Structure 1
């Protein structure tokens, strides 16, 4: 009974009001930075708070890491993934260390254990024995990794944009390779690794509303492909970047927003690559 009253309350709270969307401060949120009258976008700083807001129903759309969809499903939260972004967004950054220099051991800092970047890099190591033997992984938040790299306490870190470009411009560090570029050396998945998923609450939003969000996302993604200047302006405004930083980010991102059958195909291929094919559920992505 309590669940019924909660659902009625949540449904009433969104009727006649704009749909609440929570999105991270990364380029993968770009299509949602294009303003629309019927939804409100909050750029969040805390993933935990954004997740809690989504679980409570106070936001009905969440742009977050691909893995989060499976965690929500295990909590029996009614969701659907309407799109996932694939492509170049995160980069290996160094102070001059050559990742591919044979025979040199190295320490790489990743954000946290079992994070998407951790899973992706360990999957690469599992098929490259030589690289695996030379590698030591440590875990630190992105900003801490950047400082450790500047102090030469580590050899490499992986930073998402716009942090990667800031590290290059402000700290004079070096961009080595994107995680996606390295992935393609070993795996034949067409679009590489997933970045963020657009997850919707199917118990609060109607099918019509979900369809409209998807269509607007498709439309805005296409607009951004055709208009690099718009991308730079949106990055400047929403991520508080200088023009130089925004232009550098724009040059180094290549994000494809996949939908429907193309999404199903690429999600399935990726999960198979990381040996999590049992997590695949076609209905989750349609």
Structure 2
């Protein structure tokens, strides 16, 4: 959890009127950290200003926010509030099929962590409704068959943070770069929002990277890591079909293209915005 918090830095206490992005690792920046830590404690219930200050100073030095003098429970509670002040949900997979899997210890750990955040447990196959699993299986549902593994197990178990509605993903340098470009553009700056859900004619609700709602224009930012497999290729095309069937124009930009020539990528977005405006005028 401390590692996830460091990856999110400086976007802590999002929505609480606190912006650690202005802080630098100098005397003035460290003073700003203290001020902002006090603001976080005022604006977010349960935040301890001392922990917030020391943790932010550690993150400012690119060190894990693990603070001496705070109990494990206090540290976990403070980390969850820094990551998601409105509530954090942790998804955990059970090591199914491992004969020495510590079932009782696993369930106890889940019960303990549930004091501080929501917990979702994923099983390859549902265990029997008997001790110790009976304590966490109330209302359990089978949501689908296990997808075949496409990444190494160590990579699959890495912490994952979902996109944030309306904002660029805090761990995506490309999304943040595009957000900066758009914000500085007079014509495009006010049009697009990030990570929005679109309801299609088929009843599906894909989450899209960039959306201009009025112009029904979707821009997807594609990285090879998450879009380079056969299944991802087919899934992307089906999403495009459903969006186009629902009246949306879809523009896909490769992350490498944006990184190498961001101005060219911005011009592609601009060209489609102008085309959509012409089309909307003709329709009226």
Provide TM-score, normalisation by structure 2: 0.24
Higher relative CO (Cα under 8 Å, sequence separation at least 6) belongs to: 1
Kindly indicate which of the two structures has a greater share of residues assigned to strand: 1
Name which one, 1 or 2, has greater alpha-carbon Rg.
2
